[in-house]
């Protein structure tokens, strides 16, 4: 009986599969009218009805998917001289194959239009199959230069195997729109070279990079920096090629062994979304956890407006990377593979060119602004996070090199500078996070904060320790202060955070006196301290017996091995008065 039931089950499964196959094989094909129109308009289609997700579709006119529309179909064919246009913010999923042309010698056209706030997107599950010389054209609108050159990091999501996009073809379509340097010798078009830890610009008049290695094609999985001129018609790049079909796309990352930071060996690589729709950041990072440096486990996107890097980690709110978006990642070792896959794709309008955000965990973005620059450092709060290093939730700071940097220091753990910190939601009354600033030229700096998802009774307070000022950033629009130039790692600002409404005063900041106790010959120093704070031990005649680094938060245990007696302990913190106490040790 068991054998009979098992056989019956197999036969039933086969019958169901055959039925589904026959239904799919006889899926109704919906055809557009010759005049075409908006996909969402029933009059665009023969029979006056929109195609559904199970329908095959034949386009014989000019059809457009408008902003905010998101459709799905079975197979899709764009007939001879017909055009499908995905306008900015329009999305399409083809569950089968997309044919550009109905015969081997016909031309069908697909145009994708995107701007910085509204990308378009296409998923073709079984591939895009261009007939004859058909290509996909992307029209990507960027921010043109206005005063300071606005660079974007871009990718070219077309196959390098079947029909590579050459530098010469790219310049033919876009060369007149690119900025040049002041001496007119270089295009504002650059590739990233890990061995020198910087960008190499294309020479004016050249059709390839020649140093340190020759490169005449734009690789689809790498990012390139480019800036466009101001003026009408200069804000849109034209990119044409044959799209990548298949998953995964494997990118070998470089971490040179011969270079020495800061001239090389950092492991930074510029890569880009190789597909025709959005990539989910969390899925992309999770796939590549073993590939990236744990201190810099994030996606680093250049923001042309603030001229600095925005960093996305697993702690960030839900974010997508749109078509053509390039970004930087930091490799752990040389020639390790960074992998893009189909399961990372998202066909939705939740991405903008550089960023997208959906509220999830409580977040703080601290900003510092001068009259010409803006810098940001961010904090996200979630269960199971710690005040130490949480790899791929915390991310180190990548300097912009434009005269001002803003970053945070970790309360416990890594000595790196951080762009993003993930912090716990419980287990503390107050967190005090050191904020550091680099500033080349003297300026008035305005500090402000974007605060999302915090409970109504919570507190976010900026402390200026040098001036003795506390500013509630949930209540005040900003705190402004005049600062001198030539500042590096300025240690005077601290961010106080309480989720339970703790009321801060200067009396309960890190200026409060520490607790100094003893256990046998060990000295225990408890409290909250600035970076580079020290405890120094003296005998009663003033002879210095030792100096010890203090943890920024919690208790530091100092094993002195001194004989029984009374000793002096001095606590020294940068820019604060020295605190001295007596302590009795028993050997």
Distance (Å, rounded) from C-alpha 561 to C-alpha 586? 10
Judge whether 22 lies within some domain: no
| Three-point CA angle 263, 313, 248, nearest 5° | 85
Is 234 in the same domain as 257? yes
Judge whether 341 lies within some domain: yes
Take residue 462 and report the two structure tokens written for it: 């900026």
Is 215 in the same domain as 180? yes
**Domains identified in the chain, total number:** 4
Is 556 in the same domain as 574? yes
Tally of helices (H runs) and strands (E runs) in the chain: 3, 47
Last residue of a domain, one of 90, 111, 134: 134
Take residue 550 and report the two structure tokens written for it: 């203090």
CB atoms < 10 A from the CB of 147, how many? 7
Distance (Å, rounded) from C-alpha 464 to C-alpha 470? 6
Is 504 in the same domain as 519? no
Distance (Å, rounded) from C-alpha 39 to C-alpha 57? 11
Q: Which residue has the tokens 């020294």?
A: 572
Any idea of the CA torsion for 461, 464, 468, 471, to the nearest 10 degrees? -30
Last residue of a domain, one of 475, 491, 508: 508
Residue 518's DSSP bridge partners are: 523
Residue 50 lies in domain: 27-134
CB atoms < 10 A from the CB of 220, how many? 23
Judge whether 51 lies within some domain: yes
Residue 21: alpha-carbon gap to chain centroid: 42
Is 332 in the same domain as 372? no
CATH number assigned to the domain comprising residue 570: 2.60.40.3080
Judge whether 9 lies within some domain: no
Is 531 in the same domain as 485? no
Distance (Å, rounded) from C-alpha 241 to C-alpha 164? 7
Judge whether 464 lies within some domain: yes
Is 537 in the same domain as 434? no
pLDDT per residue, tens digit, the chain (587 aa), is 445 454 544 544 444 444 444 444 457 999 999 999 999 999 999 999 999 999 999 999 999 999 999 999 999 999 999 999 999 999 999 999 999 998 888 899 999 999 888 899 999 988 888 887 788 999 999 887 776 788 999 999 998 877 789 999 999 999 999 999 999 999 999 999 998 888 999 999 999 999 888 899 999 889 999 999 988 778 899 999 998 887 789 999 999 876 555 555 689 999 999 999 999 999 999 999 999 999 999 999 999 888 899 999 998 876 899 999 999 999 999 989 999 998 899 887 555 544 333 345 789 999 999 988 999 999 999 888 998 899 999 999 999 888 999 999 988 757 789 999 999 988 777 888 999 999 999 999 999 999 988 888 889 999 998 888 999 999 999 999 999 988 888 878 999 998 776 555 544 444 456 888 888 889 999 877 777 789 999 998 889 999 999 887 668 889 998 999 889 999 988 767 788 888 888 87
With contact defined as beta carbons under 8 Å apart, do 279 and 247 qualify?
no
Q: Which residue has the tokens 């606590």?
A: 571
Is 522 in the same domain as 546? yes
Name the pTM for this structure.
0.80
| 122: Cα within 13 Å, side-chain hemisphere | 30
Is 107 in the same domain as 193? no
Residues in the chain: 587
Distance (Å, rounded) from C-alpha 61 to C-alpha 43? 13
Is 129 in the same domain as 254? no
Q: What is the pLDDT of residue 258?
A: 67
Is 299 in the same domain as 346? yes
Q: What is the pLDDT of residue 259?
A: 59
Is 213 in the same domain as 306? yes
Take residue 408 and report the two structure tokens written for it: 């945070």
For 500, residues 6+ apart whose C-beta sits below 8 A from its C-beta are: 429, 457, 458
Judge whether 390 lies within some domain: yes
Judge whether 532 lies within some domain: yes
Judge whether 13 lies within some domain: no
Last residue of a domain, one of 307, 333, 357: 357
């Amino acid at each position: 009986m068991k054998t009979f039931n098992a056989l019956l089950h197999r036969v039933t499964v086969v019958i169901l599969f055959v039925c589904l196959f026959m239904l799919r094989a006889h899926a109704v094909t919906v055809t557009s009218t010759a005049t075409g129109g908006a996909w969402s308009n029933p009059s665009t289609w023969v029979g006056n009805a929109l195609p559904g997700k199970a329908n095959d579709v034949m386009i014989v006119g000019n059809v457009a998917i408008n902003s905010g529309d998101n459709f799905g179909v079975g197979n899709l064919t764009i007939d001879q001289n017909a055009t499908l246009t995905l306008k900015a913010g329009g999305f399409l999923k083809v569950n089968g194959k997309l044919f550009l042309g109905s015969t081997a010698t016909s031309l069908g056209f697909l145009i994708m239009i995107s701007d910085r706030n509204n990308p378009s997107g296409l998923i073709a599950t079984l591939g895009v199959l261009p007939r004859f010389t058909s290509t996909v054209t992307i029209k990507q609108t960027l921010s043109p230069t206005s005063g300071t050159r606005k660079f974007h990091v871009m990718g070219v999501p077309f196959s390098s195997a079947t029909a590579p996009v050459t530098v010469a073809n790219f310049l033919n379509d876009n060369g007149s729109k690119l900025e040049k340097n002041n001496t007119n010798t270089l295009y504002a078009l650059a590739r990233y070279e890990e061995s020198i830890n910087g960008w190499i610009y294309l020479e004016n008049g050249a059709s390839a990079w020649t140093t340190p290695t020759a490169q005449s094609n734009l690789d689809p999985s790498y990012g390139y920096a480019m800036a466009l001129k101001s003026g009408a018609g200069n804000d849109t790049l034209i990119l044409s090629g044959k799209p990548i079909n298949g998953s995964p796309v494997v990118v070998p990352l470089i971490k040179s062994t011969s270079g020495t930071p800061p001239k090389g060996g950092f492991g930074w690589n510029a890569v880009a979304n190789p597909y025709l729709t959005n990539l989910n950041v969390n899925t992309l990072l999770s796939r590549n956890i073993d590939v990236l440096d744990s201190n810099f486990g994030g996606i680093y996107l250049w923001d042309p407006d603030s001229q600095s890097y925005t960093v996305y980690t697993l702690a960030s709110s839900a974010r997508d990377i749109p078509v053509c978006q390039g970004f930087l990642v930091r490799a752990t070792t040389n020639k390790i593979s960074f992998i893009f896959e189909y399961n990372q794709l998202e066909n939705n309008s939740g991405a903008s060119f550089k960023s997208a955000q959906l509220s999830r965990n409580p977040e703080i973005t601290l900003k510092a602004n001068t009259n010409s620059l803006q810098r940001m450092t961010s904090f996200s709060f979630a269960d199971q996070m710690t005040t130490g290093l949480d790899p791929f939730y915390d991310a180190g700071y990548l300097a912009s090199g434009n005269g001002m940097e803003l970053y945070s220091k970790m309360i416990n753990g890594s000595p790196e500078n951080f762009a993003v910190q993930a912090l716990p939601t419980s287990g503390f009354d107050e967190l005090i996070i050191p904020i550091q600033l680099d500033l080349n030229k003297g300026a008035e700096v305005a500090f402000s904060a974007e605060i999302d998802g915090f409970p109504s009774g919570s507190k976010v307070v900026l402390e200026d320790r040098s001036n003795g000022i506390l500013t509630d950033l949930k209540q005040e629009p900003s705190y402004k202060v005049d600062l001198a130039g030539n500042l590096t790692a300025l240690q005077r600002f601290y961010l106080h955070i309480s989720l339970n409404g703790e009321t801060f005063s200067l009396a309960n900041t890190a200026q409060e006196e520490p607790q100094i106790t003893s256990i046998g010959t060990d000295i225990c120093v408890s409290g909250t301290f600035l970076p580079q704070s020290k405890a120094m031990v003296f005998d009663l005649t003033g002879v210095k017996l030792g100096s010890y680094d203090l943890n920024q938060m919690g208790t530091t245990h100092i094993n002195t091995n001194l004989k029984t007696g009374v000793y002096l302990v001095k606590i020294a913190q940068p820019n604060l008065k020295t605190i001295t106490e007596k302590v009795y040790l028993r050997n």
